[in-house]
Amino acid sequence: MKITAVIMAGGRGERFWPRSRNNFPKQFLSLTDDGETMIQKTVARLQSMVSSEDVYIVTNAAYAPLVREQLPQLPPENILLEPAARNTAPCIGLAGAVIRKKYGDAVMMVLPSDHLIKFNQMFLDTLKRASEAALQGNRLVTIGITPTYPETGYGYIHFGEGEEGLAGVYSVKRFVEKPNIELAKEYYSSGEYLWNSGMFVWKASSINSSLKKYLPDMTEGLEKIYNAAGTEGFAAVVDEVFPEFRSESIDFGVMEKSSEVCTIPGNFGWDDVGSWLALERINKTNEYGNMVQGDVISISTKNTIVCGGKKLIATVGIEDLIIVDTKDALLVCAKDSTQDVKKVIENLKICNRNELV
Amino acid sequence: MKITAVIMAGGRGERFWPRSRNNFPKQFLSLTDDGETMIQKTVARLQSMVSSEDVYIVTNAAYAPLVREQLPQLPPENILLEPAARNTAPCIGLAGAVIRKKYGDAVMMVLPSDHLIKFNQMFLDTLKRASEAALQGNRLVTIGITPTYPETGYGYIHFGEGEEGLAGVYSVKRFVEKPNIELAKEYYSSGEYLWNSGMFVWKASSINSSLKKYLPDMTEGLEKIYNAAGTEGFAAVVDEVFPEFRSESIDFGVMEKSSEVCTIPGNFGWDDVGSWLALERINKTNEYGNMVQGDVISISTKNTIVCGGKKLIATVGIEDLIIVDTKDALLVCAKDSTQDVKKVIENLKICNRNELV
């Protein structure tokens, strides 16, 4: 059976403000030293497994020009545009309908567009094993990540027995929400929990059955989309039907309910690049612990992240700061206060300064 | 006797980098909220005491356009251009020669161009008393500042007896260099020391006699300048003679040696605006102790100085920092590290990045 990739690229992540903006979210940013953007990396790392014609991007209609510019190798019809943001269940339903129509059935590897993976071959190996598992029955495979510390920012997967005849595939006891630090420590030390990476592998027919079963109010809309897929009226039908879908995550809407769910633990240097703090994990730091991009002179500066451009940035006597300079906005933030950057954005929204959001 | 003002504006202060540059030093900057530059304030505060025709600016030839632009009300011939930097003694000698030639004799109030004064009427009262003292005999009057804390960044004046018949005028026992903190505390608590403000009042004839006596190698050059003053050949003579002067401060060259020296303690809210730290003294701070210029959003930010322009600057979770943004350079500096900003400038010089110095 054909293997396809569905890359979800509709996110509006505010956690990389001021580099990321409403009209330029994180997946289109280059946060690594090599200049490649997150979504370009996401597509590139699948290259040896999925050809460009079988890669689908689902994104907000507003980001269509960015996707076309950054991924010119993809067929234009593989860029599926959401006329409204409705979370992951409708996003996946839309892509599944298009894929069922085109291929009859196919394996769908559903992947976020804004994560980083260090060990690509191990990642591809995991996806291959997940595809094999997905082909047997109607399994909904979720890729779990072996935790390396008690993170409170991710959901966890409580996994159970190994599945018979499928080495490395485990049953799922339950999904749990982002824990507090005590629970996170418990999960971490138990050896029974994985991080929920938001990566899924299944047949288009399998997820379609599950959507019908667990989110029946989507059935009629998805049927309309399926019928229109590949025809001239497709975009108009999506524009009409899609906004009517209820906003729902695939985790809550399907995965937490289905008995077909299983997980494959992955260990491939995954990073969700959740905030500016990630930059010192994913890029090289110098001998003083500084991660520096742009034209920077640092005097007595330690453990600081500086993201600049052409303008000279001089840092003197500082530590544990994040400095991000862009053409129209500068952020100077303590490392332990990244969660408060959203207050800046709220302030800008209240003041109707939407050009800066 | 005519009262004139001589404003020394040749300084190249690096302590306000990146706002100040070699070609745009501190005296030409506006550091207060009212938009007036330091040198404009210096001239404006003398308005009721000295008319524009009697105000002289001595500055580096390179800064002539800046002086003309910022002080268009001054007669062009009152802008005296030093072809080379030779410290304050030659600067004062030059101005004194021009003034003697024009007025026969006159009181010279010699003032720095980059200090701030809060209580202007008290300042003018002090200058008036200093002028009266200067007119009696050949007194060299230095304005001392009543210290308000044990500052280590200024020189001190050890003052002695009150002079007979001149209320508020004191003899000077000696001038002392910038002290260490222990000495500064001693000076401060003794009640016998004043800060040396670098402001002087004397007759042109008095300082000329003293220069002849204590810096006799200047005599011939000053004579040539005196002869050329008011003639077409003046600039050429200054260009020829001035660079030959030895670099010498008036404090070391004359004041520390002369027995004519006396001091008038002033208490008029003087501030030498010696570093970015001064901005929170001279401008209003908000309830969190922040001094903010430009378009700034501060979240959980305390005791921080932010000098921006049109670009939005967002600060989150920081304290005790100085942030200065300009078109081509950004400084983020800990308040206790302002003295290390010069290392940035050294680095730029070493790398031949003179456009940024």
> Does the pLDDT at position B164 exceed 90?
no
Q: What is the mean pLDDT of residues A236-260?
A: 96
pLDDT digits (tens, 9 = 90+) for A126-158: 999 999 999 999 999 999 999 999 999 999 999
The answer, for A332 touching chain B at a CB cutoff of 8 Å, is yes
Q: What is the pTM of this model?
A: 0.89
Residue B127 lies in a domain: yes
Q: What is the mean pLDDT of residues B172-181?
A: 95
Last residue of a domain, one of A221, A252, A271: A271
The predicted structure's pLDDT at residue B250:
96
> Does the pLDDT at position A224 exceed 90?
yes
Minimum mean pLDDT range among A153-167, A212-226, B46-60, B182-196 = A153-167
The predicted structure's pLDDT at residue A197:
95
Q: Are residues B68 and B123 in the same domain?
A: yes
Average pLDDT, chain B: 96
The answer, for A350 touching chain B at a CB cutoff of 8 Å, is no
Q: What is the mean pLDDT of residues B157-183?
A: 94
Q: Are residues B242 and B299 in the same domain?
A: no
- Rounded to whole angstroms, how far apart are CA atoms A327 and A325? 7
- Rounded to whole angstroms, how far apart are CA atoms B174 and B190? 15
Q: Are residues A114 and A247 in the same domain?
A: yes
The answer to whether A36 and A296 are in contact (CB under 8 A) is no
Where does the pLDDT of residue A217 fall: very low under 50, low under 70, confident under 90, or very high at 90 and above? very high
CATH label of the domain that carries residue A46: 3.90.550.10
> Does the pLDDT at position A13 exceed 80?
no
Q: Are residues B220 and B328 in the same domain?
A: no
Q: What is the mean pLDDT of residues B193-203?
A: 97
Q: Are residues A326 and A231 in the same domain?
A: no
The predicted structure's pLDDT at residue B320:
98
Q: Helical H runs in B47-135?
A: 64-70, 88-103, 120-135
pLDDT digits (tens, 9 = 90+) for A93-114: 999 999 999 999 999 999 999 9
The token pair at A240 is 């009409």
Q: Helical H runs in chain B?
A: 38-44, 64-70, 88-103, 120-135, 181-190, 204-214, 219-228, 234-241, 250, 279-282, 341-350
- Rounded to whole angstroms, how far apart are CA atoms B328 and B354? 12
Where does the pLDDT of residue A351 fall: very low under 50, low under 70, confident under 90, or very high at 90 and above? very high
The answer to whether A253 and A224 are in contact (CB under 8 A) is no
The answer to whether A159 and A144 are in contact (CB under 8 A) is yes
Judge: B314–A333 Cβ closer than 8 Å, yes or no.
yes
The token pair at A85 is 């943001």
The answer to whether A326 and A18 are in contact (CB under 8 A) is yes
The residue of chain B nearest to residue A331, with distances taken between CA atoms, is B314
| DSSP classification of residue A243 | G
Where does the pLDDT of residue B167 fall: very low under 50, low under 70, confident under 90, or very high at 90 and above? confident
Q: What is the dihedral of CA B333, B338, B339, B343, to 10 degrees?
A: 30
Instruction: Write the single-letter amino acid at A15.
Output: R
Residue B304 lies in a domain: yes
Give A300's contacts in chain B (Cβ within 8 Å).
337, 340
Judge: B321–A318 Cβ closer than 8 Å, yes or no.
yes
The answer, for B312 touching chain A at a CB cutoff of 8 Å, is yes
> Does the pLDDT at position A11 exceed 90?
no
Helix/strand/coil for B297: strand
User: How long is chain A?
Assistant: 357
Average pLDDT, chain A: 96
Q: Are residues B242 and B312 in the same domain?
A: no
Q: Are residues A49 and A86 in the same domain?
A: yes
Give A275's contacts in chain B (Cβ within 8 Å).
none
> Does the pLDDT at position B292 exceed 80?
yes
Of B321, B136, B288, B152, nearest in space to A322 by CA? B321
Last residue of a domain, one of A271, A297, A328: A271
pLDDT digits (tens, 9 = 90+) for A54-84: 999 999 999 999 999 999 999 999 999 999 9
What is the CA B111 to chain-centroid distance, rounded?
6
Last residue of a domain, one of A205, A236, A271: A271
Q: What is the mean pLDDT of residues B57-78?
A: 97
Residue B279 phi, psi dihedral angles, 5° rounding: -60, -30
- Rounded to whole angstroms, how far apart are CA atoms A222 and B325? 52
Burial of A148 (0-12, 13-18, 19+ CB in 10 A): exposed
- Rounded to whole angstroms, how far apart are CA atoms A299 and A314? 8
The predicted structure's pLDDT at residue A12:
83
Helix/strand/coil for B15: coil
Q: Are residues A126 and A45 in the same domain?
A: yes
Q: Which residues of B74-104 are buried (b: 16+ CB within 10 A; e: fewer)?
A: beeebbbbbeeebbbbbbbbbbbbbbbbbbe
Q: Are residues B217 and B305 in the same domain?
A: no
- Rounded to whole angstroms, how far apart are CA atoms B16 and B341? 9
Of A125, A104, A142, nearest in space to A46 by CA? A125
Query: A138: domain range?
Result: 3-271
The predicted structure's pLDDT at residue B165:
87
Minimum mean pLDDT range among A102-111, A136-145, B30-39, B297-306 = B30-39
Helix axes B88-103, B219-228, angle to 10 degrees: 40
Mutate to test the interface with A, among B330, B335, B338, B339 (most CBs of A within 10 A): B330
Rg of chain B in Å (alpha carbons):
21
> Does the pLDDT at position A167 exceed 90?
no
> Does the pLDDT at position B13 exceed 80?
no
- Rounded to whole angstroms, how far apart are CA atoms B209 and B197? 23
- Sign of torsion over alpha carbons B55, B58, B59, B64: positive
> Does the pLDDT at position B232 exceed 80?
yes
- Rounded to whole angstroms, how far apart are CA atoms A15 and A35? 19
Secondary structure, 3-state, A277-328: HHHHHHCCCCCCCCEEECCEEEECCECCEEECCCCEEEEECCECEEEEECCC
The residue of chain B nearest to residue A311, with distances taken between CA atoms, is B328
Residue B183 lies in a domain: no
Q: Are residues B85 and B24 in the same domain?
A: yes
> Does the pLDDT at position A190 exceed 80?
yes
Q: Are residues B215 and B343 in the same domain?
A: no
% of chain B beyond a pLDDT of 70: 100
Give A330's contacts in chain B (Cβ within 8 Å).
308, 311-314, 323, 325, 330
The predicted structure's pLDDT at residue B305:
98
Helix/strand/coil for A17: coil
Q: What is the mean pLDDT of residues B335-341?
A: 95
Judge: B330–A312 Cβ closer than 8 Å, yes or no.
yes
Q: Are residues B352 and B205 in the same domain?
A: no
- Sign of torsion over alpha carbons B97, B99, B103, B105: negative
Structural domain count of chain B: 2
Q: To which residue do tokens 């989110």 refer?
A: A215
The residue of chain B nearest to residue A318, with distances taken between CA atoms, is B334
Is the ipTM, as predicted for this complex, more than 0.95?
no
- Rounded to whole angstroms, how far apart are CA atoms B212 and A57? 86
Judge: A316–B308 Cβ closer than 8 Å, yes or no.
no
